[in-house]
Amino acid sequence: MEQGSSGLRRLTQEIAKFGAVGALGTVVNFGVSNLLWHVTSLQAVRANVIATVVAIGVNYLGFRYFTYRDRDKSARTRELTLFLAFSLVGLVIENGVLYTAIYGFGWDSSLQRNIFKVVGIGLGTLFRFWSYRTWVFKALPAPEAVADADAFLDAGSSAPLGRRKARQRVG
């Protein structure tokens, strides 16, 4: 049970950190989109796409250096590629909701845009949380798993010399 409560505590901390970074990204997203909606003549969804892209940049920095700073950093190119791919799906979800509200139902007042922006961000956030923690910021093995693997390798020290040397190069 001790391990279960420890895992739940880690997940709770991860969700809180994800939420803090997401809240900052949301503030940036709303700020940029509302600024563009009121100061430029860009169409609402185009302005919102720009705002979402800016927020994605802020979020990557927050996730990499705050939420998931303890995660594997060995494959940054892969990580960034997956982050951008999953963020693009989140962008489509968020802006798809806004597009449907504006062009499907004619709900285009400032208040309506912001309401459907909240709905889109909410749905996109659920997808992003699952995909980032599952595919992008992969967890390093638990210390217990590393200790078990080391013990297993040490127990096999009676293996032929060639295999022992290969293991030593790997470890």
76-92 pLDDT per residue, tens: 888 899 999 999 999 99
pTM reported for the whole predicted model? 0.74
Mean model confidence pLDDT for the chain: 86
SS3 73: coil
Compute the residue count for the chain.
171
Asked if 37 and 47 touch (Cβ cutoff 8 Å), the reply is yes
Instruction: Break the chain into its structural domains and give their ranges.
Output: 2-140, 143-171
Tens of pLDDT, residue by residue over 114-128, are: 999 999 999 999 999
